[in-house]
Chains A and B, each alone.
Chain A
Amino acid sequence: MAGSTLHDGLTPLNEASVQKSDDAHGYYTLGDKLVDPVAPVGPIAERWTTRKFENRLVNPANRRKLDVIIVGTGLAGGAAAATLGEAGYNVKSFCYQDSPRRAHSIAAQGGINAAKNYKEDGDSTFRLFYDTVKGGDYRSRESNVYRLAEVSANIIDQCVAQGVPFARDYGGLLDNRSFGGVQVSRTFYARGQTGQQLLIGAYQAMERQVAAGTVEQFTRHEMLELVVVDGKARGIIARDMVTGEIETHLADVVVLATGGYGNVFFLSTNAMGSNVTAAWRAHRKGAYMANPCYTQIHPTCIPVSGDHQSKLTLMSESLRNDGRIWVPKKKEDCDKDPRDIPEEDRDYYLERIYPSFGNLVPRDIASRQAKNMCDEGRGVGPMVGDFRRGVYLDFTDAIKRYGKAGVEEKYDNLFDMYERITGENPYEVPMRIYPAVHYVMGGLWVDYHLQSNIPGLFVSGEANFSDHGANRLGASALMQGLADGYFVLPNTIRDYLADGPFEKIDESHEAVVEAKRSVQERIDRFLSIDGTRSADSYHKELGNIMWEYCGMERTEEGLRKAIDLIRELKADFWSNLKVLGSADTLNQSLEKAGRVADFIELGELMCIDALNRRESCGGHFRAESQTDDGEALRHDDEFAYVAAWEWGGDSLEGGQPVLHKEDLIYTAIEMKQRSYK
C-alpha cells in the first residue's frame, strides 16, 4: 500500500512500486523490504532542524573518551576529521596517499552549488532541492536532498572563513555562475580548480587538529578489513603500505569516506588509486551495497588515443556553452582534416535532435548520442582497435564571435591542457571529445543519519549511495561531500556516541584476530599464486567488459554475457595472477592485486543490479526501455526503489546476492518524466 513506510500525517504523492519484470531472475534472491529506521517526519523544511534537536548530546568531557576512525581524507573525510576533532573526540584519520591533501576531491573543476540567492534570481532552498531531485531522475530520498540544499549555504560561509579563494566580483563580493542546465546562478567557483581549493581548506582545517592533538593522521595506510564485534563496527585492519605491517585500529565508531568506485571501468577520470576495497570489505561483512549500477558518464573527456592509456582526462563541461558538437555526415569523411569538411557535410547532431537545448542537453543525453554517432561509424580521431571514439567540439564560431583573445580568456587553461595531452592546437583544429566514467551514485546503503545497516559504521560522500539518485547534476558532488563532513555527520554521530562509553575491546578479541588473519591469508594468497598475468592486465580486461556491457547503454543479453565473462575472469585471476616482491615493504603490485580482486566482485554485482533494473534512468540507458523516439524511459511504477544488496557469498561457490528494496516515497515533489526536446 502506498505510504506504508511513512509515519504520521504525511500524504505520499506516489504509489509504492511493484516490480513486474524480472530480468535478473536466477541471479539473486529477494530479501525483506528495507525501511530507513530513522527517516524523519513532519514538514520537509523542518525535518533536519527537528532532528538536530532530537539527537542526543555528548558532553565535552565525555567526548575525550570516545574514539572515531575516519577512512579517507577527501571533502567528506577531511571535513569530518576536522569537525569531529575540534569537537573534542579522538579521531584517527587514514588515507592511502602520502598526504591527505592528495585525495581525489582535489581534481573537481567546475564549482559547488549553494542556495544563497545572491543574484536575487529566484533561487531558494526549495528550488535547489527540487532541481536536484529532478536531476537525479527521482531516485534519491527527498529528506536527504532537502537537508543537503538546506546546509549548502553554510558550506560557503565555512569555506570562506577558512580562506578558500572563491571568485569575486568587482565589489569584492562572491561571484556565481550557472551550471549544467540550471536556470539560476548558484554555483560558487575558484576558476577551474574549485575542488582543489575546497579540499585544501578541509585539509588545512584537519592539519590544524593534528597539531592540536585531536586528530592522528595515518598516511600510506590502506584499510583492508572492517572489525565487527557483537554486530557493531568497532575498528579496521589496515596495512602500512611502507612497512607492510598489518595494524589493528579500534574505535567506538568507524566512518568510511573513501570515494567512488568508477575505477572498476579501468579507464575513468578517477585517480589511479581510487578503489572500492574499504567499502567492499564492509559489504562482505554485512553492509548493504545500494544501486551499484548507477554510474555517471561525463560527456566531455579527452578521447582514448591508444591501448596504453591509464586514465581519461575530463574537460570542464563549461566548454559546451560555446563549443558546437558535430561529426561528419558521411563515414568516408571521418579520417579527413575536419577543416576540409564543408558546413553542409557536418552533422551538428545535438542541435538537430534537441533544438531547444542543443549542445547544452544534460550529461546522459550528450554522452549517449556521442556513443551513438561513433557506433554508427561516424566517430573521429585515431582508430583504437577498429573503432574511432571521438566527436568534434568546435570553437570556430566562438572564435569568430569573441576573437581568439575572448576564447582564451574564458577557457585558456583547458585549451592548454588539451594541447598538452593530445599534441593538437584546439584554436586551429576542433577539439575531440568522448564520454568517460566520472562519478558513481551507487555506494554503501545508509539511513538518514548516514549510518549503514551495520551499527557504528557511517558512510559519507561518494562512498555512500548518495542523496542524488541516478544522474546527479554538475556542482553537487562537492556540495554533498562537504555537507556530510562538516554538518551532517557531526550531528548524527553524536546521537550514536551518546550510547557510549562502549565496552572496551582489545586486539586479542576473537573478531579482531579473525579479521587480521583473513587479511594476512589474502595477502599470502596473492603472493603465492605465481601465475603469468599482472593485476593491471586483469583490471584492463574487467574495464573493457564493464564499459562494453554495463556502461552507457545496457541490454539484458549484454549484461548476462558480462556476468559470465566476469565469472571466468575471476576464476582465472585466482589461478593465474602474478605478484612479485614481498609483503613487508612498499609493493605497488600487491596493492593493485587486492583492489582488482574487489573490483571484479563489485563489477559482477553492478551487472546484476543493472540487469534487475529494466528501466532507463538518468545515465543508465536500458535499450529495452525507451520511448518511440529513442529517449530514456523510466518506470516509476516498478523501480522507484533503492536496490540495497546484501552479500550472499562468492558466486563461484554458488553464492547469490540478496536484494532488499527500499521504496522511494515523495511527499513534497511530484514525479515527472524529463524531456529536453
Chain B
Amino acid sequence: MNLTLKIWRQDGPDDTGGIHTYEVSGISQDMSFLEMLDVLNEQLNEKGEEPVAFDSDCREGICGMCSLMINGEAHGPEVTTTCQLHMRSFSDGDTITIEPWRAEPFPVIKDLVVDRSAFDRIIQSGGFVSANTGSAPEANAAPVPRDKAMRAFNVATCIGCGACVAACPNGSASLFLGAKITHLGELPQGQPERWTRVVDMVGQHDHEGFGGCTNIGECAAACPKEIPLDVISQLNKDLRTALKNGH
C-alpha cells in the first residue's frame, strides 16, 4: 500500500506546531498502525529527516501507552488501541491524518507525544485502598459476591490511555474516573474510603482542568476496553451521596 500521511509535528511544548505531509510506501495489510509509522521513520531517517516521535510500549493493547487521533478518532476507526489497529482497516491510496490527543490537561511534549501525568495525580488523590504491606487479613476473610467481583473486574480493565478524554468534546475524564470509583466501590475492601475517595478524585479531576460530563457518550464509544458509560452514573451517585453526608 502507498499512503499519504498528514502528521502533526511540534518540536516542543512551546512550539506552535503544524501538519506536515509525508508519502509512505511499501505498507503491508498485516502491519499494525505503529509498525506503519516505524516504516515511515526508517524512511525519514534515511532521508536525513528527524523521525516522528510517538508513544508506544507493550504493543499488545494493555499498557495504555499508545495514543493518536487518527482521522479525528481516538485510536482510529476500530474499537481498539492504536497498537492493535492494523493497516487492513485502510486502503491503498488513502490519506490519513494523525494528531496527538487533544485536551488542555494533556500538553504536547513533542510531535504526537503528550503528557498524561494528570491521570497519576488523580489516582494519587484517592484512587487506592489504604492497605499497608503485611497488614492484610486472610484473602478469603471477606467474600465478594460473584456479580460484584465481575463488575469490579470489568471496569478495572481501564488502561488509562486517555482516549475517553481525547474523544470527549468537553475534554472530560469522567469515564476514567468512573471506572476507578466503580472498581473500588464494588468491593468490600474499597468501602472505608468510598466517600472521601470520590470527593477527592473529582476535586483533583476538576483542578487538572478536565471538563465536566454532559452525557454525550463519545468516551465509552472510543474506549478500547469498552468501559460502559454507566460508570459515570455510579460516579455521580457516589458523589451525590458523599456530599449529602458532608464528606
A residues with CB within 8 A of B = 79, 82-83, 86, 97-104, 106-107, 116, 118, 154, 156-163, 165-174, 190-191, 193, 195-197, 200, 203-205, 207-208, 210-211, 217, 219, 242, 269, 271-273, 305-306, 308-311, 313-314, 417, 420-423, 486-487, 490, 534, 536-537, 578, 580-581, 585-586, 588-589
B119 at the interface (CB under 8 A from A): yes
A273 touches B57 (CB 8 A): yes
Within 8 A of A (CB), among B122-136: 123-125, 127-136
A158 touches B146 (CB 8 A): no
Within 8 A of A (CB), among B47-91: 48-51, 53, 55-65, 78, 80, 84, 86, 88
A588 touches B51 (CB 8 A): yes
For A219, list chain B residues within 8 Å (CB).
Answer: 117, 120
B93 at the interface (CB under 8 A from A): no
B246 at the interface (CB under 8 A from A): no
Taking A163-B128, A534-B46 as known contacts, 5 extra A-B pairs with beta carbons closer than 8 A to each other, sorted by chain A number, are: A97-B57, A162-B129, A417-B61, A421-B84, A580-B49
B-side interface size class:
35 or more
| 6 residue pairs bridging A and B, Cβ less than 8 Å apart | A97-B63, A106-B62, A154-B134, A421-B32, A486-B133, A487-B134
B63 touches A107 (CB 8 A): yes
For B109, list chain A residues within 8 Å (CB).
Answer: 242, 586
With A207-B124, A534-B45 as known contacts, state yes or no: A102 contacts B30, CB within 8 Å: no
For A586, list chain B residues within 8 Å (CB).
Answer: 12, 53, 109-110, 113
B45 touches A580 (CB 8 A): yes
B31 touches A272 (CB 8 A): no
B65 touches A102 (CB 8 A): yes
Q: How far is the CB of A104 from chain B (nearest CB, A)?
A: 6
Q: How far is the CB of A669 from chain B (nearest CB, A)?
A: 28
A168 touches B149 (CB 8 A): yes
For B42, list chain A residues within 8 Å (CB).
Answer: 534, 536-537
Q: How far is the CB of A224 from chain B (nearest CB, A)?
A: 19
A423 touches B29 (CB 8 A): yes
With A272-B59, A417-B61 as known contacts, state yes or no: A585 contacts B11, CB within 8 Å: yes
B48 touches A580 (CB 8 A): yes
**CB within 8 A of A157: which of B39, B80, B88, B136?**
B136
With A272-B56, A580-B51, A589-B45 as known contacts, state yes or no: A97 contacts B65, CB within 8 Å: yes
What is the chain A residue whose CB lies nearest that of B26?
A308
**CB within 8 A of B38: which of A190, A200, A308, A585?**
A308
B120 touches A165 (CB 8 A): no
Of B163-171, B181-189, B231-239, the segment with at least 4 beta carbons within 8 Å of chain A is: B181-189
A581 touches B50 (CB 8 A): yes
A490 touches B127 (CB 8 A): no
Of B151-159, B206-214, B215-223, the segment with at least 4 beta carbons within 8 Å of chain A is: B151-159
A200 touches B144 (CB 8 A): no
**CB within 8 A of A420: which of B84, B128, B143, B183?**
B84
B183 touches A163 (CB 8 A): yes
For A161, list chain B residues within 8 Å (CB).
Answer: 129, 131, 135-137, 139, 189
With A106-B63, A197-B156 as known contacts, state yes or no: A98 contacts B115, CB within 8 Å: yes
For B110, list chain A residues within 8 Å (CB).
Answer: 585-586
B21 at the interface (CB under 8 A from A): no
**CB within 8 A of A165: which of B30, B32, B140, B149?**
B149
A98 touches B117 (CB 8 A): yes
Complex CA gap A161/B142 in Å reads 9
For A310, list chain B residues within 8 Å (CB).
Answer: 32, 34-35, 38, 59
Q: How far is the CB of A335 from chain B (nearest CB, A)?
A: 17
Complex CA gap A487/B32 in Å reads 40
For A208, list chain B residues within 8 Å (CB).
Answer: 124, 128, 130
Q: How far is the CB of B171 from chain A (nearest CB, A)?
A: 18
For B138, list chain A residues within 8 Å (CB).
Answer: 157
For B228, list chain A residues within 8 Å (CB).
Answer: none
A204 touches B133 (CB 8 A): no
With A102-B63, A310-B32, A487-B133 as known contacts, state yes or no: A107 contacts B120, CB within 8 Å: no
What is the chain B residue whose CB lies nearest that of A108?
B62
B55, B78, B136, most chain A CB atoms within 10 A: B136
With A162-B189, A165-B183, A586-B113 as known contacts, state yes or no: A172 contacts B133, CB within 8 Å: no
B45 touches A311 (CB 8 A): no
For B125, list chain A residues within 8 Å (CB).
Answer: 211
